[in-house]
Amino acid sequence: MAKIFCIANQKGGVGKTTTAVNLAAGLAKVGQRVLMVDLDPQGNATMGSGIDKRKLDMTVYDVLLESSSVAEARVHSEKCGYDILGANRELAGAEVELVEVERREKRLKLALASIDADYDFILIDCPPSLSMLTLNGLCCAHGVIVPMQCEYFALEGLTDLVNTIKQVHANLNKDLKIIGLLRVMFDPRITLQQQVSEQLKGHFGEKVFNTVIPRNVRLAEAPSYGLPGVVFDPSSKGAQAFITFAEEMVQRIKTM
């Protein structure tokens, strides 16, 4: 049975997609079977895994509306080493279309149940909102990975997400918890970042992952080649950090 994790933070540009594709590639590198689900209509995780979102016949949109199964809609990336359930602009419509249907927040959960034996990890790249799409992700996950930059308002921004996770835990998915906060785009030369990092550890303790992802230009360049940094330049500092993070996740799920 796969362990399912959402990569979520309602802020945009905090490193969710970078975390999703690089963790997927890192896990694949250390021998794990991985499915990455793109739940963002921007389709960045799809493109960043070398899959052209405009050429997909079936996407997570069709799965949410039950017009196709995950087995039919997933594609494999040979270069990246994992499977992808892709997304494109069509997915933006699902938000409205799902309002009408039954069990609307459980659609993804039901769909993933049919293929969950095929994987060790299923990673879900969430959109920058606490919408019906994100809710579908949270309903099927065992845990949430929260990427965050160590900036002044970092802690404040977490309150809404933590409250949403508490509500989903209470009403829809009693398995759900925050697995950890991942410090990303970290620059140790910036004193403020060190201070916020210490504050985070003080506040969240064990919930802060040991691995820190540095700010690294190779991670930012990789998407334009349709690759995760881990595949694009495996020896770069950013890629190395994500491989270490993948190993940390493999250890974490042993105690879950």
Using CB under 6 A, list all residues that contact ligand ADP.
12-18, 44, 128, 184-185, 213, 215-216, 219-220, 223, 238
Task: Report what 80 binds from Mg ion, ligand ADP, none; CB cut-off 5-8 Å by kind.
Answer: none
Chain residues 38-97 in contact with Mg ion, contact rule CB under 5 A: 44
Residue with tokens 């920058």: 128
Question: Rounded to an integer, what is the distance from CA 46 to the centroid of its chain?
Answer: 12
| C-beta of residue 229 within 8 angstroms of C-beta of residue 10 | no
CB of 16 to Mg ion, least distance (A): 5
- Cβ closer to ligand ADP: 21 or 68? 21
Residue 169's φ and ψ, nearest 5 degrees, are -60, -45
CB of 102 to ligand ADP, least distance (A): 30
CB of 49 to ligand ADP, least distance (A): 13
**Binding of Mg ion at residue 211 (CB under 5 A)?**
no
| HSE-up (13 A, CA, CB side) for residue 113 | 8
Task: Report what 12 binds from Mg ion, ligand ADP, none; CB cut-off 5-8 Å by kind.
Answer: ligand ADP
Task: Report what 215 binds from Mg ion, ligand ADP, none; CB cut-off 5-8 Å by kind.
Answer: ligand ADP
Cβ neighbours of 237 (radius 10 Å) = 15
Write the binding mask 6 to 35 for Mg ion: x where contact by CB under 5 A, - elsewhere.
Answer: ----------xx------------------
Task: Report what 15 binds from Mg ion, ligand ADP, none; CB cut-off 5-8 Å by kind.
Answer: ligand ADP
CB of 103 to ligand ADP, least distance (A): 28
| C-beta of residue 134 within 8 angstroms of C-beta of residue 127 | yes
| Residues that contact Mg ion, how many (by CB under 5 A) | 3
Query: Which stretches of the chain are assigned E, i.e. beta strand?
Result: 3-7, 34-38, 75-77, 82-85, 121-125, 143-148, 178-186, 208-214
CB of 87 to ligand ADP, least distance (A): 12
CB of 199 to Mg ion, least distance (A): 25
Task: Report what 13 binds from ligand ADP, Mg ion, none; CB cut-off 5-8 Å by kind.
Answer: ligand ADP
- Tokens standing for 152? 């002044």
Strand pairing category for 208-214 and 75-77: unpaired
Q: Is 54 exposed, middle or buried (0-12, 13-18, 19+ CB in 10 A)?
A: exposed
Residue-wise burial string across 23-52, b where 16 or more C-beta atoms lie within 10 A, e elsewhere: bbbbbbbeebbbbbbbbbbbbbbbbbbbbe
Residue of minimal Cβ distance to Mg ion: 17
- Cβ closer to ligand ADP: 6 or 213? 213
Contact footprint for Mg ion (CB under 5 A)? 16-17, 44
